[in-house]
Amino acid sequence: MLAYSIKRLLTLIPTLLAASILVFLFVHLIPGDPAAILLGDTATPEEVAQLSAEMGFDRSLWVQYMLWLGNVLQGDLGTSIFFREPVLSVIGNGAETSILLATMTMVWIIIIGLPIGILSATKHGTWMDQLTSSGAMLAASIPTFWLGLYLIMIFSVYLGWFPSSGFPSLSDEGGLSNLRYLLLPSLTLAAPNAALIVRLVRASMLDVAREDHVRTARAKGLHPSRVAIKHIFRNALISVAAAFGFTFAALISEAVVTETVFSLPGIGRLVVQSILRRDYPVIQGVILIIVVLYMVINLLVDLAYARLDPRVSLK
């Protein structure tokens, strides 16, 4: 498996490079002098000229790309115009929030989505199946920010059970109980994604249930729930596992809206604010990191695939 992972990582490199070129070009696609853009509106012409020379903006694009790439590989993603700090540390500040949010959301998705999906499939054809299927589709149609606003209104404003904004770090006072700040946001983010998982699990299980080996399992006199879990669900997991990986990746971008609604100091909100503030180095840095993350997730999904389906050979 290690050899396979390394091989796959190697094939990722061309795609990573191509994506990095796109990210690099991003700043240069913006109309205007890149150095002026990077320094922001308050820069003087001398500062602009100086940065231009430093960054090599007067040299060819290829050279600039190489310089940039070299910096990136050493961990230097540039400097934020707004914060006047290295981009990497700015992003790092938001990482804790975003990672915790994504993890909590995945937990909700698994504990809500999987059981309902399995239930829906096993009760196929009954009113329960109709209800959960339509309900899932409805839940997937709700805009996350709208759901978030209403959860805030009900649970924060009227009931006062949960806080409506912000997130103190776990290392601040309150410790783990600070996670309650992430409860509503993670539920908001989980709802539409759990719905998609429900539908996917249901569809996959119904497909598998028609296969011959399920009939064999029944012919062995196994209890129906054992057949449903060990023979139907386990086989359906093959298709579902890939979706989990991509859901996690999608969470990264969807978190943007949720973090804005709940004013969470995460990377998503950072991106939006940076866009509004025209803080291009930060935008560039975040995108780059997210792209890399996406590809790593792809790789993990492939590995999981091989683990779940013995027929897939790691060649």
List contacts with other proteins (CB under 8 A): 15, 18-19, 22, 26, 29-30, 134, 137-138, 140-146, 149-150, 152-153, 157, 195-196, 199, 211-213, 215-223, 231, 234-235, 238, 249-250, 252-254, 256-257, 260, 271-272, 275-276, 283, 287, 290-291, 294-295, 308-311
In whole angstroms, the minimum distance from the beta carbon of 225 to other proteins comes to: 12
CA angle 277, 283, 285 (to 5 degrees): 145
Q: Name the maximum alpha-carbon separation found in the chain.
A: 84
Could you tell me the CA-to-CA distances from 259 to 2, 43, 76, 103 in Å, in that order?
37, 31, 26, 14
Residue with smaller CB distance to other proteins, 72 or 178: 72
- 254 CB neighbour count, 10 Å cutoff: 19
Residue with smaller CB distance to other proteins, 7 or 213: 213
In degrees rounded to 5, what are phi and psi of residue 86? Answer: -60, 140
In whole angstroms, the minimum distance from the beta carbon of 17 to other proteins comes to: 9
Whether residue 248 contacts residue 109, with contact meaning beta carbons closer than 8 Å, is answered with: no
Residue with smaller CB distance to other proteins, 65 or 145: 145
Residue 33 identity:
D
Residue with smaller CB distance to other proteins, 58 or 211: 211
Whether residue 290 contacts residue 16, with contact meaning beta carbons closer than 8 Å, is answered with: no
In whole angstroms, the minimum distance from the beta carbon of 46 to other proteins comes to: 27
Residue with smaller CB distance to other proteins, 102 or 178: 102
In whole angstroms, the minimum distance from the beta carbon of 50 to other proteins comes to: 26
Whether residue 291 contacts residue 23, with contact meaning beta carbons closer than 8 Å, is answered with: yes
In degrees rounded to 5, what are phi and psi of residue 65? Answer: -60, -45
In whole angstroms, the minimum distance from the beta carbon of 150 to other proteins comes to: 8
Residue with smaller CB distance to other proteins, 55 or 278: 278
Spatial distance between the Cα atoms of 158 and 241, rounded to a whole number of angstroms: 39
In whole angstroms, the minimum distance from the beta carbon of 43 to other proteins comes to: 19
